[in-house]
Amino acid sequence: HLLDSALVTAAPVYDTDDREELLVGHALYKLFAGSAGQSFSKNRLKFDGLTRGKIVDRLESRTGYDRHVIDAHLDDLLQTFLDVGIITEVPWDEIRDKIQSSNQGEDVKDDTFDFIESARETAMDHDIVEDAESGVFTRIPRVDDSDIVLLPEASFCGECYRSYPVTAD
């Protein structure tokens, strides 16, 4: 409940003076640290983690932020989350094994491999990861030893019943 009420967030998220970056960063942290939302399905195959495109879609639908606002901050935030260990990239072997062991036909498997390859290229094109394995990002709680901070102040929207972190200034 502390995460949803914007009373705590990841330390690297709060380390900014930019209001939009703080809001997008907190929403991204909630997406990965929350109880649901960090998986997707492609061709009836469920994958743990999210591609950059899926992250943008989820943040846009859950927060109502404009896509260009999310795009403006997402790549730097993903790099930071990877650097401090909040998230990790799903290994290629894990993705490959899931696709190959499925009961799907070869056309469906090929389409799924193409989707993952596109996600991998997107991660490299956006400079999120220099040499991406899969372009699928996930949070493994037992591996995440990043710090969280108690926010000194939060704002509340009485019309939409959402809480938001605010900058120190």
What is the per-residue pLDDT across 16-31, written as a single tens digit (0 to 9) for each? 888 899 889 999 998 9
* Residue from 12, 3, 9 nearest 84 by CA: 12
Q: What is the rounded CA–CA span in Å between residue 146 and residue 56?
A: 23
pLDDT confidence band for 168 (50 / 70 / 90): low
What contacts 36, CB < 8 A, 6 or more positions away? none
Whole-model pTM?
0.88
Reported as a single tens digit per residue, the pLDDT across 37-92 is 689 999 999 999 999 999 999 999 988 899 999 999 999 999 999 999 999 999 99
Q: Residue 11 and residue 136: Cα distance in Å, rounded?
A: 23
Compute and round to an integer the Cα radius of gyration of the chain: 17
- C-alpha pair distances (Å), 119 with each of 25, 97, 164: 21, 17, 30
